[in-house]
Chain A
Amino acid sequence: MTAAPPRASPFRRRRRAFVDSAMTWLCGACIAIALLPLASLLFMVVARGAGAMSWTFLTHLPKPVGETGGGVGNGLVGSALILGVAAVIALPAGVGAGLYLAARGDGATGRAVRFLAEVLSGAPSVVVGIAVYALLVRPMHRFSAVAGGLALAILMLPMLARATEEAVRMVPRDLFEASLALGVAEWRSSLWVVARTALGGITTAGCLALARAAGETAPLLFTALGNAFWNVRPDQPTASLPVQIFDYAVSPYPDWQRQAWGAALVLLLLVAVLNAVARIATRARLPGGA
């Protein structure tokens, strides 16, 4: 590989070969450095989280300060409630926007919408929390699961729209045109023919967006707040797993800190399951992993 240039001394050639292998090792070392924190993080979460895990931990309310034990059952239920609200708001809007972009998105409007989606996805999630606070929490004088869900929905929207668009664009255009040729209206062709074919991809998009939203903490702090008790009413302050991890982690009580690790393990498993479902959904629909 290292053919010598004209009049190169053997010394110079050796030096070039040395620099080449040194840089190869250096870049390889970068990979190792990049993987180190991940390995440490996963190991610690599993090792410390497993110690806190028990049936009681998953199904019981938190105990007051000073008593050991208790669990994050209300956080699990609360997270599910908030994510449910977020999905109800974001799925139709995000998937609809994606369908529109795929079908008619080549003009100026489409470019503008796509650009806005990219810009929105760069917005810090705390700021979204502030906006929803001003929009819902202040007028209602109450923190609520709806406010939390709306904040998460705003964060899910751009991801959903982009991923849906990509999934829909993979459906052959012939299919859409065949449907039009049979006299089916454009919107019906789009919805019943194209979107159905791309369903696997759209499911993937939904799961990935939910997985991201499930771990979001900052926007929930001042929208859903938190709650030490069971709550299934969407208009009430609601506990959530990520906020519980935060509260427990920064608390000075060892038993709470122990539970923070447990809750982190539960949250990671939840995110992993959503990611796995996302992968399976795409594979089932598109054999060969196209």
Chain B
Amino acid sequence: MAAALGLVVAESWKLALPALHRFGAAFVVSAAWDPTQDSFGALPFLLGTLVTSAEAMALALPVGLGAAIFLSEMAPPRLRAFVRFPIEMLAAIPSVVVGLWGLFVLAPPLRDHVEPLFARTGLPIFAGTPVGVGLLAAGLVLAVMVLPTVTSLSLEALTAVPRAQREGFYALGATRWETVRRGVLPAARSGLFGAAVLALGRALGETMAVAMVVGNSPDMPRSLLSTGSTLASVIANEFTEAVSDLHQAALAELGLLLLGVTLLLSIAGRLLMRRAVR
């Protein structure tokens, strides 16, 4: 196990070396990505990753938490078993298939109906031509993909709250919602936070579904409607067609960046979850 992890880090490091030497720290702040000119900067992809993941979390966290509250506090037990299964099934669906759905089912109505509506608001984050694929679509698809993670981990955190905690609140005359709001949620706080962090880690590293709907342009994204790329999607798209060793090295360095961030998040998330469930 340790060998496998070490191998992943070491081999990507080796491959990324030329880029590390060539660009140094400027790599992460440079916005120029032009393989034919041998100039590589990570900024557009960092920004793309950040925006799509933030969007996914903004959508998936409230919905997933709401679903988890309903399942753990409100639903009759039979309904709970009945609903839990399909939500966990969603997690087993391969990400190419979700991407396929995003590309052909989600993107066309986005382009024709939803995005023009947003564009009419005149807000700068909705500037540009509606094309369907882009950061907005990628964030939506990501939200769908992390929803099962958020729901089932939140459910775990909520069910770990002792029964006596709830009964105490009911005994004081609290309604069901007041019990949840003031009794259960604060007690489950660190577990819920852990669930969010782990879900964010998954969203950042998700590759195929994003690569299929994000539009894949290496330019700085201007608004939510514009096309873009994420760290993971640009690797998937360009790695096999890398024009030079330096290009490949730059992609490997993007991979290292991604690995570093996701590993930190997954460690933090696990520690939080562990504290909560014990």
Contacts and interface: CB of A to CB of B under 8 A. Distances in A.
A290 interface: no
Interface in B259-274: 259, 262-263, 265-267, 270
A216 B259 contact: no
A222 to B, nearest CB: 5
B212 A215 contact: no
Contacts of A249: 96, 99-100, 103-104, 212
Interface stretch (B27-35, B171-179, B220-228): B171-179
B51 to A, nearest CB: 18
Interface string B71-105: 10011000000010011011011111111110111
B272 to A, nearest CB: 13
A132 interface: yes
Interface in B108-137: none
B173 A133 contact: no
A2 interface: yes
A138 B12 CA distance: 12
Contacts of A117: 1
B212 to A, nearest CB: 6
Contact of A20 (B62, B151, B177, B212): B177
Contact of B258 (A26, A119, A124): A124
- Residue of A16, A129, A214 contacting most chain B CB atoms (<10 Å): A129
B147 interface: yes
B275 to A, nearest CB: 14
Given A19-B177, A126-B255, A222 B239 contact: yes
Contact of B67 (A30, A97, A118, A124): A30
A217 to B, nearest CB: 5
B101 A40 contact: yes
Contact of A30 (B66, B198, B204): B66
A26 B66 CA distance: 7
Contact of A24 (B63, B74, B211, B235): B74
Interface string A11-27: 00000110110011011
B164 interface: no
B201 interface: yes
A215 B94 contact: yes
B1 A157 contact: yes
B176 to A, nearest CB: 6
A215 B93 contact: yes
A182 interface: no
B70 A30 contact: yes
Interface in A1-46: 1-5, 16-17, 19-20, 23-24, 26-31, 33-35, 37-38, 40-41, 44-45
Interface stretch (B2-10, B18-26, B39-47, B187-195): B2-10
B93 A124 contact: no
A271 B88 CA distance: 13
B203 to A, nearest CB: 11
Interface of A: 1-5, 16-17, 19-20, 23-24, 26-31, 33-35, 37-38, 40-41, 44-45, 97, 112-113, 116-135, 138, 154, 157-158, 161, 211-212, 214-218, 221-222, 225, 242, 245-246, 249-250, 257, 260-261, 264, 267-268, 271, 275
19 contacts: A1-B170, A20-B178, A26-B66, A28-B70, A38-B87, A44-B104, A123-B205, A124-B255, A126-B207, A126-B258, A130-B251, A138-B15, A215-B95, A218-B207, A245-B96, A246-B212, A267-B94, A268-B93, A271-B93
